[in-house]
Structure 1
Amino acid sequence: MAAAKATSPREAGHVAIIMDGNGRWATGRGWPRLVGHRKGAERVKEIVRLAPDMGIRWLTLYAFSTENWKRSTEEVLGLMSIFARYIQREADGLAAEGVRMRFIGDRSRLAPRLQRLMAGIEARTAHLTRLNLTVAINYGGRDEIMRAARAIAAEVAGGRFDPADLTEAAFSRRLDTCDLPDPDLVIRTSGETRTSNFLPWQAAYAEYEFTETLWPDFGPAELTAILARFSNRERRFGGGKP
């Protein structure tokens, strides 16, 4: 499999998406919320398949947050079943398409079977490069930062790390995303304009797009339009205009 082409500063090489609105999509039609989540999983398949042709080399999807455990037991169990089914059903297709899949978030609260499925597809696709697909499950930005801080504190206490050597780069290496570039563009669907604890460290200089479209209705045409707008933005990363 040939390596993906390099992206220019005007291309969104890493796109992160807060996939919101599945439940509202379903309830607006008089259907159970899980129907919306299943429809949302179908949308994921479509976007993943098309992303490389849009210049996207890294795609990070917010699937389940540390706060989502507050939802009903039925919905949480249903979501976990959808995650497991997606991994099982899409493993062959992802490998054939050259998609590397990995996960970020605290796995300790997830069912052992789901953890095994996650580890299995990560190992199976580790050598692939056409698209790097990262799925955030039981992920929260503050939780991630706290886990990294605890790891550094333990290293300091054990005499393995000198606090004087702590830099942004050293801290970033303790984050779940240590082997990913920072996102260029963060998209949130469903009309909400919150970042909801998604990649707060990594997205410090990302561009944001908020769309009214519910995730099950978010298609290639809208993604293409958002990428076109991104390409016209001037990203100065804190610097002034020339």
Structure 2
Amino acid sequence: MAAWLNAQKAPSYISFARMMVSGKIALPEGAIYSEELSNFYGTQSELMQSPEVKRRAATRVESQRPELQPSPISLTVGLQRNTSFFVLTAVGAEPNYTQAYLDACMEEYLRFKRELRSETSQTALTSITDELLKLDKDLEAGQEELLLFQKTNNVVILEEEGNGAAKYLVTLNHQLAALKTEYQLLTMLDLDQNLERQGQNVPGQAAADATPKPETPNMGPQLDYLKAKQQVQVLQAAKE
């Protein structure tokens, strides 16, 4: 009975194929796109057997081999032990269609994977482009702020004012040093020497001034003292 049932079954044809798939692809400028290895093989196996790949494979065979009679196909994917080869097995009632379908599955898998990578790359590119546009706007805003600052604050004038202030400070330092020297000299001389020195400075200052200045009232007693001192010196000389 079992032999009779087996004889009544339609024959099944099996088609095998092997495919090596790498988890890395080369990109421009030496960059490398790499998929996570721990999930790579399971993901690729599911992708090869996905409804989308099967649908595309059937459409491909129908458009390229219209003479073939479509038939249900059972597709399984396994990984060859200790290798990176995927083993694809297709079982169907029509030998030519089964083989063509298996070839189409591999082609559509590769195409579908490229599309997924392209979409991922496009998403990343769009994100980077948006970020660059944002940076360009920030840079432009910063340049506008700099120009506005330069317009409202004349940098040249600020530098000239700074130089003028520095020169004035140097002048004050020179005057301070001269006054310190004068003070030290006054502390070293006695009263008579200071009076004689001041009396000598008065004619020099008057000659140096372009406009005559009235005599300072405070100089009167000092001049009287000098005259009296000269008279004393004359009398002493006459005695001798």
Higher relative contact order by CA 8 Å / sep ≥ 6: 1 or 2?
1
Interval containing the TM-score (normalised by the shorter chain): under 0.3
TM-score normalised over the length of structure 1 = 0.19
Larger of the two Rg values belongs to structure: 2
